[in-house]
A and B are shown apart, each in its own frame.
Chain A
Amino acid sequence: MLDLALKISLTLVMLAIVLNTFRLTIGPSLPDRILALDTMYVNSIALIVLLGLWLNTKTYFEAAVLIAMLGFIGTVAVCKYLLRGDIIE
């Protein structure tokens, strides 16, 4: 039962990443692309968690922690650049 649920969940997350790539490609404005990239970070964290459940190991969860921290910092930096024209004033 867990294998089937894991396969369904992996398929759904992969479809979500495909939709994010679509929005990242065609996004009409710059904040759309930033939003797509931010969502892609979250979906890649979900993918890493599912990979850890699939392989029954917690080795890759540090990578998920790093993505969670650095993705937020990247989003804030790009938003700050678009808002103020500079990152560190």
Chain B
Amino acid sequence: MTTFVILEGIISLLLIAGGAFAFIGSLGMAHLRDFYMRLHGPTKATTMGIGCMLVASMLYFGVINHEPVVQEMLITLFLFITAPVSAHLLAKTGLHLKLPHADKTRGRPAELQPEEVGDKPVPHPTPDHAHITHEQRPLRR
């Protein structure tokens, strides 16, 4: 009996923590000034929040109801694998579109073109070949 009370407390704590993390991530995405800053909120805090909620659901259905927890494991696997990949692609898209950044954003990121990554990576917008278009660049085949 006491075990179930403690378990219910743990599940409630995980649920509230998950909701708070999801809300903080979305608040950061709605409030921050810059796309590069806004990218931080959903990719870390929201993933953490839904992780907490899925652990709570695993505890509830697995320990109390004695049901298998296959779906929660699958959701956790997909989300925790795909969240960094989609964040990486979004950051690459933002760099490619040359989105404006606020003055507070530290560092001046530059996009690496795949044609330029040879032995040593060269940052793309260098002054001597910034004017060369994509067609004029020599292909390395």
Residues of A within 8 A of B (CB): 1-2, 4-6, 8-13, 15-17, 19-20, 22-23, 29-32, 34-36, 38-39, 42-43, 45-46, 49-50, 52-53, 56, 58, 61-62, 64-65, 68-69, 72, 75-76, 79-80, 82-83
Contact = CB atoms under 8 A, between A and B. Distances in A.
Contact of A79 (B19, B38, B49, B92): B92
11 contacts: A5-B16, A15-B23, A15-B26, A20-B26, A30-B93, A31-B97, A35-B42, A42-B46, A58-B71, A65-B74, A82-B97
B90 A75 contact: yes
Given A31-B99, A35-B39, A35-B42, A65 B75 contact: yes
Main secondary structure, interface of B, reads helix
Interface residues of B, number: 51
Nearest to A68: B78
A9 B97 CA distance: 36
A13 B26 CA distance: 9
A43 B26 contact: yes
